[in-house]
Structure 1
């Protein structure tokens, strides 16, 4: 190959052999840069298995929460379809012929989770009610024509023309096209409904699926009702109301805020054409509590977030979007980070696999075990001879690791039942001293010893004041939680609580007579004390009498119920102190717990404004160019144009004169040594610098730092405050 030529030209050299570039998958990104390739592949496999299990669990939770509302919604749709076929139905007797059955589905402000609900709803409708289900969003339906076009295209599965001239004058390859109108939909529906079973376009149904009725309803789902133009909805409803005798139309409104949105968007003349029934979904906080109960508060999932990590995830949920889907994504991200950053997470697997993996640890992995803070604390608590063995003998470390992994699993099996019992005991107390939600109590137990807090002492004092019925009721709930006991200690606690409830029930028959006697003696003592106080006496005798009364109250004999209640509370306190210790007290807890809350916060709670301002103020830290180094407050002439313009705009007030800004920019740019060496040329504006300045200002305006203003034509308004 040669490029010798008299004239200029472009030469193309084809490679002699084709080199196919292998496409990287998720495992390659996970193992990239890892020291131990086999270990990282095994960790990726464990993480993938746990993610799949988590996905199936969350889908089951979603189906269980939506089951009740979806079942009632399906029943409403079936009755509406029946009323179209026979107008004598009792349910439809109050409905006028021009009314369109409408389901107002209030889903809450967690808009990110609505897609999952609507997808489940569409699937169930297409499986059991009708194949004609269309979902539309506001962003694709700005006018009525576009809305009708989307509906017809998705129902009929063919091209829809917007006007008749386009269809008549078309000379392209002939294809099936219809005019965009409800009359075309009526004609198509009459043709399709004559078939024994309505089949949705583009979908094949197997013989095992159910047969739909002769006239299945046409369901339109408006996912985000608040985002639709009120005028578009009004026109659509008015048009559809003219075809209710021919088309079994049914609307489903997805509402995020309040049912009053319908009355606010549509006038009475339009809402009178709808037969609306309200459906309320479960709250997103209830959904979150169920997800946390299935994923976090269980010993089935070995991966556990620390208290700070769980606070970050719950904080983003409560203060940002109320989205359970985003919470699950954050939980998955923390799991991925844990398996990627912690080499010993290879032991976070099933019991048999973990013990077998611990038995074949390499020397490097044993050294990593020795460097764990929890293992170092464990070594310090041992005898000197045992310490030497743990620090020098790898085989002994492997045996100890197996024992510690078993102990960690027993800790989780004891921790979560006792945690639920403590929550049941304290959730009904006044002012909720240990939190109203169990996740709050869980975070407290993860971060510190819960029995050392003032809130715990307050809760115990309130428990010692509970009436017998209330105490027996919560003890029965605790028994249900502990039954059946998975460990020996839990079974022992279960038997002890059953004994306490039996003793409380035996107190009813044996305390009546003693209570009457104590009441009589107490009444006589009180009368005598009252007479003694009524006597005329001096200050010394009055003080002596009051001290005697106080001492008698202090030494008053407690009732059998009070003694038994104190014993029950003390026993529960002992269970808490034994089983609700923080996970940091368990050796090798780093295998299962992810603690890097800062990394998770940077990934999930991004601050783009701060990052942009930092990049514009200190470009050296991003570009790594030595020429960009400058003292604090100085402006480097070698910096990018947008950085120079940004630093200069920080020195201005609310309104910035564009000409003064340009002059300052030119002065800074001209200070470069390679620029015009003639001092008389410094500060002079040329076309190139002018264009560069205009581009920098446009970029700042795009980023939201400045905007044009009508107060002065040659000025821009500054949208930021403070220095760099």
Structure 2
């Protein structure tokens, strides 16, 4: 035992305090806050439910913002489509031998259900014209009869009337739809209302061209407007490259291209996470943003894919970071004082102590003080986030001003860089890697002429007017930059870059408890979006119980080879072989494992029978017979069947199980047949980490 320490001894300049594991675990005083990860913090009382509610509120706010942005982007195009459908039969060209069928094509490089839903909603709420819409899909239109039946029934099923028992027309007869249309049109004309029938053909490339040709020839007597969705390139058009001229002569085609691509991706991300007009609850770090952008650009540029990525980032943060329960508001003191929340409170104190000074350290000694610390940290964090957005907005203002006047501006894009330029600038700003851009911006502004400087000052005033009144730094911009514009551009550049640099110096991961509101450098779970199929298959073959554990069986910590399925056993023997596998040797090694399996199962059955006999002979109170699950009964029947096999039948069963396992590995691509040796197969997978 070490002697007691005397801190008052003037002869000692250094004191060695030995590490005590038990004391440290009890008090937590020796824990390093940097080593304690937020994901490893124990939850507070009801933490999972609180984090789920916080996640739903944060994600709903983010999703509503994205939907509002999409509605604003799509609105002009939706109005054009609706107007085109409403006036489709008002501007008929005179002198045509037959009326043309209006076809409206909506072309997009990716699926756009949000745009289609907005078009449908606008058609249903249009006041000038009554639209009746029918949706047709390729599986419903395998031939002309099924296509006509779907078309007629979709319109007439909601008419409110009923057909009499003396009907003479088939359900797919176009005259049924014609009669329904005439009756409905006459009733609408009495009230001075117009009527339009819209047919939306989803996934148009999957329809059989012959069915569409017959359909267009049969519906000429009814004024239908077709809206078709295309994912193929606009040039050459799918219609012109697939359908003959005789069919195209019946159509009046009007093309609309749905906004999509990288520009929409950039606009949504910037207006959601960078705009000074919107404050998301969860701030994504550079690692998550870069992964989302890279995955969207390389694999799927649709808005739905982007929304899925953002939702997954939110889910990961709120499911792994226990402190995220405090994102919106701090829980009550009674919840923190509950014994079930002591570990969470301890971690919260550790994180708070990391940034506290001696003057404010006393706050962390009681629960109300900790709540005050969290509330202050929340205000400070969001203030810094807004400062970063203002700094980015000023850099973007300089870049756009330079581009409008023909200057090159900042070099935001580099060779082989797929990321949009402003998103790349924002990610670099989050990482603190924009020293070159700041110097370049200062040089560009310092070289502005007096007239250009005055024009830039006017745009800067417009930028300041858009800032919310409560924004921190707004008055600084107005007082220092907008109130009195200096005549010398270099002086103005110094002021402008000084303000931007001051905002960026306040790093987000420098604030107290930043892990609550910021993902930082936490990686995006890309394996969920794009999993490694090869690694999953190999892991399933090596450790099948990790993937499928029966609820009525005990999962032993050590997985014996004979307990695995046949394919897993054969794959284990596969890994022990060389490049070429002798099938007979492979079978013999498989046979040895099955013999061990047979012996173990027989020994297990003997023990169970002995236990049943002991239980039956032991006197005692009558007990209720336990019900056996169907899975156990099936397994027991199989074991009894194997036990009743003679040696010849057993060998035949082993051969059959071996052939089935080989076929499964062959189907998965683990073996390759060779023509050189009929009794050998080639191994295709090497360097497997067991």
How many Å apart are 1:613 and its aligned residue?
A: 1.8
Deviates more, 1:571-580 or 1:636-645: 636-645
Deviation string for 1:679-713 (max 9, x for gaps)? xx99998332233234434544665657999x999
Which residue is equivalent to 1:310?
289
Give the direction of change, closer, same or farther, for the CA distance of 1:396–1:116 in structure 2 (3 Å limit).
closer
How many Å apart are 1:101 and its aligned residue?
A: 0.8
- Distance in 2, Cα, partners of 1:403 & 1:141: 62
Deviates more, 1:66-75 or 1:665-674: 665-674
- Distance in 1, Cα, partners of 2:371 & 2:157: 64
Give the direction of change, closer, same or farther, for the CA distance of 1:487–1:655 in structure 2 (3 Å limit).
same
- Conservation of the 8 A alpha-carbon contact between 2:383 and 2:472: no
- Conservation of the 8 A alpha-carbon contact between 2:438 and 2:497: no
Q: List aligned pairs for 1:503-582, cutoff 5 A.
A: 503-504=486-487, 564-580=488-504, 581-582=506-507
- Distance in 1, Cα, partners of 2:663 & 2:392: 58
- Distance in 1, Cα, partners of 2:579 & 2:179: 64
Q: List aligned pairs for 1:379-398, cutoff 5 A.
A: 379=356, 382-383=357-358, 386-387=360-361, 389=362, 392-398=365-371
**Given the alignment, which residue of 656, 660, 668 partners 1:691?**
656
Give the direction of change, closer, same or farther, for the CA distance of 1:157–1:698 in structure 2 (3 Å limit).
farther
The answer to whether the aligner puts 1:155 opposite 2:155 as a matched pair is yes
Q: What is the SS of the residue equivalent to 2:87? A: helix
Which residue is equivalent to 2:538?
613
Which residue is equivalent to 1:143?
143
**Structure 2 gap ranges (5+):** 1-40, 160-164, 414-419, 550-554, 604-645
How many Å apart are 1:646 and its aligned residue?
A: 3.8
- Conservation of the 8 A alpha-carbon contact between 1:417 and 1:482: no
**Given the alignment, which residue of 209, 226, 235 partners 2:205?**
226
Q: What is the SS of the residue equivalent to 1:253? A: strand
Which residue is equivalent to 2:311?
332
Q: List aligned pairs for 1:89-104, cutoff 5 A.
A: 89=91, 92-93=93-94, 97-104=98-105
How many Å apart are 1:322 and its aligned residue?
A: 0.8
**Aligned residue pairs, count:** 571
How many Å apart are 1:197 and its aligned residue?
A: 7.4
Which residue is equivalent to 1:295?
272
How many Å apart are 1:102 and its aligned residue?
A: 0.7
Which residue is equivalent to 2:124?
126
Which residue is equivalent to 1:45?
53
- Distance in 2, Cα, partners of 1:654 & 1:225: 49
The answer to whether the aligner puts 1:642 opposite 2:619 as a matched pair is no
The answer to whether the aligner puts 1:591 opposite 2:526 as a matched pair is no
Q: List aligned pairs for 1:453-532, cutoff 5 A.
A: 453-466=435-448, 472-483=454-465, 484=467, 485-487=469-471, 489-499=473-483, 502-504=485-487
Which residue is equivalent to 2:392?
419
Give the direction of change, closer, same or farther, for the CA distance of 1:503–1:719 in structure 2 (3 Å limit).
farther
How many Å apart are 1:68 and its aligned residue?
A: 0.8
Q: What is the SS of the residue equivalent to 1:496? A: helix
**Could you state the TM-score of these two structures normalised by the residue count of structure 2?**
0.71
How many Å apart are 1:105 and its aligned residue?
A: 1.1
Deviation string for 1:513-544 (max 9, x for gaps)? xxxxxxxxxxxxxxxxxxxxxxxxxxxxxxxx
Q: What is the SS of the residue equivalent to 2:411? A: coil
- Distance in 2, Cα, partners of 1:577 & 1:48: 35
- Conservation of the 8 A alpha-carbon contact between 2:204 and 2:229: yes
- Conservation of the 8 A alpha-carbon contact between 1:445 and 1:582: no
**Given the alignment, which residue of 410, 413, 430 partners 2:408?**
430
- Distance in 2, Cα, partners of 1:682 & 1:212: 87
Give the direction of change, closer, same or farther, for the CA distance of 1:571–1:227 in structure 2 (3 Å limit).
farther
Q: What is the SS of the residue equivalent to 1:419? A: helix
Give the direction of change, closer, same or farther, for the CA distance of 1:612–1:470 in structure 2 (3 Å limit).
farther
Which residue is equivalent to 1:515?
none
- Conservation of the 8 A alpha-carbon contact between 1:638 and 1:669: no
- Conservation of the 8 A alpha-carbon contact between 1:197 and 1:211: yes
How many Å apart are 1:250 and its aligned residue?
A: 1.5
Which residue is equivalent to 2:425?
441
**Given the alignment, which residue of 50, 69, 72 partners 1:61?**
69
How many Å apart are 1:103 and its aligned residue?
A: 0.8
Q: What is the SS of the residue equivalent to 2:252? A: strand
Q: List aligned pairs for 1:231-246, cutoff 5 A.
A: 231-237=210-216, 239-240=217-218, 243-244=219-220, 246=221
- Distance in 1, Cα, partners of 2:285 & 2:246: 56
- Distance in 2, Cα, partners of 1:684 & 1:467: 97
- Distance in 1, Cα, partners of 2:322 & 2:562: 47
How many Å apart are 1:75 and its aligned residue?
A: 1.3
How many Å apart are 1:141 and its aligned residue?
A: 3.0
- Distance in 1, Cα, partners of 2:648 & 2:203: 56
Give the direction of change, closer, same or farther, for the CA distance of 1:565–1:148 in structure 2 (3 Å limit).
same
Q: What is the SS of the residue equivalent to 1:303? A: coil
- Conservation of the 8 A alpha-carbon contact between 2:44 and 2:336: no
The answer to whether the aligner puts 1:250 opposite 2:258 as a matched pair is no
How many Å apart are 1:464 and its aligned residue?
A: 3.9
Q: What is the SS of the residue equivalent to 1:101? A: strand
Deviation string for 1:88-132 (max 9, x for gaps)? x4x5347652421111111222x2xx2222222122223324442
How many Å apart are 1:324 and its aligned residue?
A: 1.7
- Distance in 2, Cα, partners of 1:700 & 1:473: 71
- Conservation of the 8 A alpha-carbon contact between 1:663 and 1:683: no
Q: List aligned pairs for 1:266-285, cutoff 5 A.
A: 266-285=243-262
Q: What is the SS of the residue equivalent to 2:106? A: strand
Give the direction of change, closer, same or farther, for the CA distance of 1:229–1:702 in structure 2 (3 Å limit).
farther
Give the direction of change, closer, same or farther, for the CA distance of 1:137–1:607 in structure 2 (3 Å limit).
farther
- Distance in 1, Cα, partners of 2:192 & 2:349: 66
- Conservation of the 8 A alpha-carbon contact between 2:196 and 2:224: yes
Deviates more, 1:654-663 or 1:413-422: 654-663
How many Å apart are 1:583 and its aligned residue?
A: 0.8
- Distance in 2, Cα, partners of 1:225 & 1:67: 23
- Distance in 2, Cα, partners of 1:360 & 1:646: 52
**Structure 1 gap ranges (5+):** 1-32, 83-88, 160-172, 199-209, 505-563, 630-635
Which residue is equivalent to 1:555?
none
- Conservation of the 8 A alpha-carbon contact between 2:409 and 2:444: no
- Distance in 2, Cα, partners of 1:197 & 1:712: 82
Which residue is equivalent to 2:172?
180
Give the direction of change, closer, same or farther, for the CA distance of 1:402–1:115 in structure 2 (3 Å limit).
closer
How many Å apart are 1:279 and its aligned residue?
A: 0.9
- Distance in 2, Cα, partners of 1:104 & 1:306: 40
How many Å apart are 1:416 and its aligned residue?
A: 1.3
- Distance in 2, Cα, partners of 1:328 & 1:291: 10
- Conservation of the 8 A alpha-carbon contact between 2:143 and 2:211: yes
- Distance in 2, Cα, partners of 1:643 & 1:267: 55
